[in-house]
Amino acid sequence: MAHLDLEEQEQLDQFKHFWKQYGGLISWGLIVLLAIYAGWNGWQYWQRKQAVQATALYEEVERIAASGDATRLDRALSDMKDKFAGTAQAQQAGLLAAAVHASAGRNDAARAALAWVAEQSGDEGYKAVARLRLAGLLLDAKSYDEALKQLEAAFPAEFAPLAADRRGDVYLAQGKKAEAGTEYQKAWAGLAAGSSYRNVVDVKLASLGLAPAAAAGEKK
């Protein structure tokens, strides 16, 4: 027993020496880990809370949009921008508000909403949709250079044919038929075979006396 007592005492002394030398670092390390864990949980909670609140406000935007009240719609969209600008719901609200304004002929308000989504959205899909719609409104307003500026941005692959088609529309409105034809050819080549939109581009090419050039790696 005496031997065991001495052995235990020796182990205890070694532990005391180790703790004296490294105990502070271990304690601080645990504190940092606990702080990171608490921060992560807090951030997750905040994200969930933001999503719930943003969804509720977006539903309010939808109700107002259905009523056609432009003043309340702008106020609700402003609230979305102020409180939940980084959420998908805010981008959806911007696109919805723009559609409502455009259908009512409030093109300035529609362009402003689309410009905000195009500049602020963190989602490339929402950005692409906003730029395409904004370019369409600018085309209608005969602001051709501004429309082309919106279409100069990099588009995700699935939106690239639509951007080319819209550039073709702008060039055609400017009387630049050769440039329009080139863009329509790009659009046609990028669209899937048999797609209804490719048929639309076919008509545009035909109006210019052009036949679509088969794309390498034809889409099925």
- To the question of pTM greater than 0.85 for the whole model, the response is no
Query: Following DSSP, what letter does each residue of 199-210 receive, concatenated?
Result: HHHHHHHHHTT-
Average pLDDT over residues 116-139: 92
For residue 1, what pLDDT is reported? 47
pLDDT band of residue 46 (cuts 50, 70, 90) is: very low
Name the percent of the chain lying above pLDDT 70. 74
Estimate the crossing angle of helix 124-140 against helix 144-151, to 10 degrees: 160
Q: What percent of the chain has pLDDT over 90?
A: 47
pLDDT of amino acid 87: 86
Q: What is the pLDDT of residues 21-41, one digit of tens each?
A: 666 666 666 665 655 555 545
pLDDT band at residue 138, thresholds of 50, 70 and 90? very high
Of the candidate ranges 37-41, 96-100, 142-146, the one whose mean pLDDT is the lowest: 37-41
Just give the CATH number of 38-144.
1.25.40
**Beta carbons of 77 and 95 less than 8 angstroms apart:** no
The mean pLDDT of the chain is 82
Confidence of residue 64 (pLDDT cuts 50, 70, 90): confident
Cα-flanking dihedrals φ and ψ of residue 27, to 5°? -60, -45
pLDDT, residue 38, reads 56
- The predicted model gives 116-138 an average pLDDT of 92
Sequence ranges of the chain with CATH classification 1.25.40: 38-144
Q: Residue 62's pLDDT is what?
A: 86
What does the alpha-carbon distance between residue 128 and residue 24 come to, in Å, rounded to a whole number? 53
